[in-house]
Amino acid sequence: MRVRSKAGTNAPWVLVAGGFHQEGGMDRLNAALARYLVAEGAPVHLVGYRVDEEFATAAAVRNYPINKTAGSFFLGQARLDRKGRAVAAEVTAADPATRVVVNGINCAWPDINWVHFVNQAWPARADHGPLWLRVKSRLEARLTLRREQWLLPRARMLIANSECTARDLVRLVGVAEDRVVTVYPGIDESWGPATPAERLAARAWLGIEDERPVVAFVGALGHDPRKGFDTLWAAWQRLCERRDWTATLIVAGGGRAVDGWRRIIARRGLEARVKMLGFTARIPEVLAAADLLVSPARYEPYGPNVHEAICRGVPAMVTAATGVAERYPAALADMLIPDAEDAAALAARLLAWSTNIAVVKERFAPFRRFLASWTTAAMASQIVAVAARTRKKSA
């Protein structure tokens, strides 16, 4: 649908986000919204740290690049906030029909807030690492929680990426329930099932020469235990003690703790059973090689890694309390992890999967088709529809 200003022309949109590119779940979604608006003919203003070339050359797009202070998202947040508010004020003054979309606490502009993460539900923390990092983490968490509690209730409309996120906004942040709308993330059509040729090429790249099962973990490995890799590692050690367990674990994700995990794995003598890739942009290839994705996250407002894996044709085992889990059909309830702390139970579930790999893959086929049908264009269209229903006032 087209959004038109009072003068009859397409209304401008200002999007304020960390990035508009294909690396990172939130950044891909922000890019998808920008792409949709451009295709609909709306003038688009992008304020962010990184913008893909496709937007840099688009006639309808104006970019406002922000430099991160010392390469830090946290330190660069003030710059993003100031520039976002300045651009929103300028564009809105020129056309009062302008819509402004910000992400969470990144910009204090009270129009549409697209929330991908509720800090009150999981304050960022560093449980391990050097003392300076733990102190910094506690300080950042305190400031972030205060800003979230002040900023989010002032938005005219909040778009949550799951019902889980919507409940947290109401319960933990105090947002009025009638101002929260859930719009599930869409998926780009390129995330289709891997072909046999793609699978062979991906396994060759990873050095997997036979058809042994491959389990993938995709997520950041910081000193914050939110993603649950420690639980998976504890389960993996148990399984590797069994002669009938032949699977290889592929770990894709950067972070301060990557080198530490490499040392732990080496001390256990399991380098041949666990391949640590660190940060990689080749996630589609990782999934092409995989037979299962495991995500025992302690908190995950949605779970784009799970969504992408399933659309790639890879079954996924994920914590039941995550946002994406609420979309699982009852027939796949056995693939939901009840307790992200229970490594023994996770090991048992992985062992059960290993005896029925082909059957589990077939069981996921209808769910894959369901998720794949909700594209990023459909998602963006729904966001635009939500904006059209929201009463617009001048900022």
The 3-state DSSP class for residue 370 equals helix
> Do 56 and 31 lie in a common domain?
yes
C-alpha separations of 327 from 194, 292, 332 in Å: 23, 18, 10
Quick one: pLDDT at residue 1? 32
117 token code pair: 């993460």
Quick one: pLDDT at residue 251? 98
Residue-range definition of the domain harbouring residue 360: 196-373
**Angle formed at CA 91 by CA 87 and CA 94, multiple of 5 degrees:** 150
Within a domain: residue 227?
Answer: yes
Contact assessment for residue 120 and residue 33, using Cβ atoms and an 8 Å cutoff: no
Within a domain: residue 7?
Answer: no
Quick one: pLDDT at residue 63? 94
Give kind and range of the element (H or E) at residue 388: helix 376-389
Long-range contacts from 364-370, C-beta under 8 angstroms, 24+ separation = 364/310, 364/313, 364/315, 364/316, 364/332, 366/329, 367/310, 367/328, 367/329, 367/332, 368/193, 368/310, 368/311, 368/313
- CA-to-CA distance for 196 and 173, rounded, in angstroms? 47
What's the CATH number where 144 sits?
Answer: 3.40.50.2000
- CA-to-CA distance for 383 and 100, rounded, in angstroms? 12
Contact assessment for residue 152 and residue 113, using Cβ atoms and an 8 Å cutoff: yes
The 3-state DSSP class for residue 45 equals strand
Contact assessment for residue 275 and residue 290, using Cβ atoms and an 8 Å cutoff: no
Within a domain: residue 82?
Answer: yes
Within a domain: residue 191?
Answer: no
> Do 144 and 173 lie in a common domain?
yes
> Do 34 and 44 lie in a common domain?
yes
The beta-strand segments (E) located in the chain are 13-16, 19-20, 44-48, 50-51, 61-65, 99-102, 112-115, 157-160, 180-182, 214-218, 248-252, 274-278, 292-295, 316-319, 336-337
> Do 148 and 251 lie in a common domain?
no
> Do 330 and 283 lie in a common domain?
yes
> Do 231 and 209 lie in a common domain?
yes
Contact assessment for residue 368 and residue 310, using Cβ atoms and an 8 Å cutoff: yes
Within a domain: residue 288?
Answer: yes
- CA-to-CA distance for 181 and 177, rounded, in angstroms? 9
Quick one: pLDDT at residue 58? 85
Quick one: pLDDT at residue 3? 38
> Do 142 and 251 lie in a common domain?
no
Contact assessment for residue 238 and residue 343, using Cβ atoms and an 8 Å cutoff: yes
341 token code pair: 């702390």
> Do 321 and 306 lie in a common domain?
yes
> Do 274 and 255 lie in a common domain?
yes
Quick one: pLDDT at residue 73? 63
Q: Which residues of 218-231 are buried (b: 16+ CB within 10 A; e: fewer)?
A: bbbbbbbbbbbbbb
- The DSSP call for residue 254 is -
- The DSSP call for residue 105 is T
> Do 250 and 342 lie in a common domain?
yes
**Domain count across the chain:** 2
Contact assessment for residue 97 and residue 392, using Cβ atoms and an 8 Å cutoff: yes
| pLDDT tens digit sequence for 354-374 | 999 999 999 999 999 999 999
Within a domain: residue 178?
Answer: yes
Residues of the chain with pLDDT under 50: 1-9, 392-395
> Do 327 and 213 lie in a common domain?
yes
